Every structure is written in structure tokens, then in C-alpha cells.
Amino acid sequence: MVINSNISLNNNPNIIIDQIVNWIKNYSDQHDLKLVVGVSGGIDSALVSTLCCMSKIETHVVTLPIHQNEEQLLRAQNHIKWLERKFSNVVSHEIEVSKVYDVFYNTFKHKFNNLLTNANSKSRIRMVCLYQIAGSIKGIVVGTGNKIEDFGVGFFTKYGDGGVDISPIADLDKSQVRSLAKFLEINDDIIYAKPTDGLWDDDRTDEDQLGATYEELEWSMDYIDNKKNEVLSKRQKEVIEIFLKFRKNNYHKMIPIPVFKLNV
């Protein structure tokens, strides 16, 4: 479920904040559900968890470290403390699941060992944990993906961080996410941290993996979707190629599961 907003953040940010918060609240109230958000130390999960808390619905914010970079975990912990100071409807959990991942990794490493699938397995283990919590408290898992990740280049783990019930910011570009985070006075160390999925031992950033910044990918998505016709620089052509490559390879994540239909 994705919110669809055409409101520009150049206007009053309160408008889009109120829209998203009310959308979350209405969905939760309609089904009598609590909210569960995984907090990574990144800007997307920081914004989503803040918006969920603003709904006044009981919000469970969860850190699930798996051999986690200490700086990333500290950012997540500090953000949760910030939420607890501002809101009375926050319930926080920190659950160390490194040993769970280690058992999984050691079970498969001799025959099915792949760096990418190992990284994705961390995301999928976290998804299982979030649904364990949600199912125990009559809650839903709230997604933290933005528009570029979810509908541009498909930069998420299928049935990992892509396994959610609602997606409050999936119609917002990364720059819009950053603008709202600044407006809500989310911690600067989160706002200005280099985006990373935190799934790799070498702490590679999203830009390292994608080969382009989110700002470049936003431009590329706008250029392609609006069929613009202009003279492009060498770098702009490179970014378009990067965008189209990721969209082609990851398109299966962005569409419904193909279902065979009987023809009898």
C-alpha cells in the first residue's frame, strides 16, 4: 500500500507530513493495528519512525544488529532515544541477532556461499524478526523504502526490507525525505550520513553499490519518466545507463508475482 502525493515540498512541509501521518493513522485505526518499524540508523527509517510516532499509534521501534557497524548502531540508538524524549507512544526493542545469522551462514556456507545472497539473508532475517514482533502484538510492519529504491532502481532485498505491510514514503524521492527529516529536526548525524544498507562487512555505501548518487538517480528517473529531450553530458548518459540497468535487473521486485492462469 503506497501513499500517492503530488504536493511539492517547496510549499509547506506540514501539509505532506500531515497527509502521511493521517494516512498511517487511518489505516491503523481501520484495522486496529499497532506499528512496527525497523530502525537502521539511516535517514529513511528515521523519518518513517518519526511519522509513525506522530500518528499517536503505539509504535514499536526495533534495532536488529547483525555484526553491525558501531557507528550505524549508535545513530539508530540515539534516534530511538530522541523519539522516546518526544513521544509517549514509543516502545523500543534492541534484539541482537548475529548468532541467528551465524547459524544460518554456517549451515549453507560449504555448498551455497555467495556474498550477495549472504548480505540479502541479513535483511531477510530482520524481516522475519519484525513480523515475529508484529504478529505478537497485533501490529503491522511499516516499510522504510523511498521512491528511487522501491520504484526506480529496485534497490532493496526481495522479502527482506521489501517485505512490509504499508509504505509511507515510497512516493518520496530521497531529496524529499531529507527535506522532511531536516524540517522535523531529526539528528544531523543521520541526515548527513552517507546512505548505506548496512549489509556488508566492508561498510560499502549505497553509492558504492549503485555507481551513482540518489540525486543523480532522481534526475535520471525524472528525465526518463517525463520523456525529456535535452543535450546530455557524458556523466548524465552514464547515470541513465546505470538507472536503466538496475531497473531492468530488479524489475521483478517492483511488480506483482507472476501467476499462471488456466486457459480451459
Q: What CATH number does residue 56 fall under?
A: 3.40.50.620
**pLDDT at 202 (0 to 100):** 87
Cell of 107: 549451515
Q: 91 φ, ψ to 5°?
A: -125, 120
Task: State how far the Cα of 11 lies from the Cα of 210, in Å rounded to an integer.
Answer: 31
Share of the chain above pLDDT 90, in %: 91
Structural domain includes residue 1: no
Task: State how far the Cα of 38 lies from the Cα of 46, in Å rounded to an integer.
Answer: 9
Rg (C-alpha) for the chain, rounded Å, is 19
Q: Give buried/exposed letters for 58-93 (b at 16+ CB in 10 A, else e).
A: bbbbbbbbbebeeebbebbbebbebbeeebebbeee
Structural domain includes residue 200: yes
Residue 53 class from Cβ within 10 Å (0-12 exposed, 13-18 middle, 19+ buried)? Answer: buried
CA angle at residue 219 from 218 to 224, to 5 degrees?
100
Q: What is the mean pLDDT of residues 41-56?
A: 98
**pLDDT at 1 (0 to 100):** 39
Mean per-residue pLDDT of the chain: 94
Structural domain includes residue 228: yes
Structural domain includes residue 102: yes
**pLDDT at 227 (0 to 100):** 79
For residue 24, give the nearest of 61, 55, 69, 68 by alpha carbon.
55
CA angle at residue 87 from 122 to 26, to 5 degrees?
80
Structural domain includes residue 108: yes
Structural domain includes residue 191: yes
Structural domain includes residue 139: yes
Per-residue pLDDT of 190-246, as tens digits, reads 999 999 999 998 889 999 999 999 999 999 999 998 877 788 999 999 999 999 999
For residue 155, give the nearest of 205, 202, 110, 192 by alpha carbon.
205
| Total number of domains in the chain | 1
Q: What is the mean pLDDT of residues 64-82?
A: 97
To which residue does cell 522475519 refer? 128
Domain range for 218 is 13-254
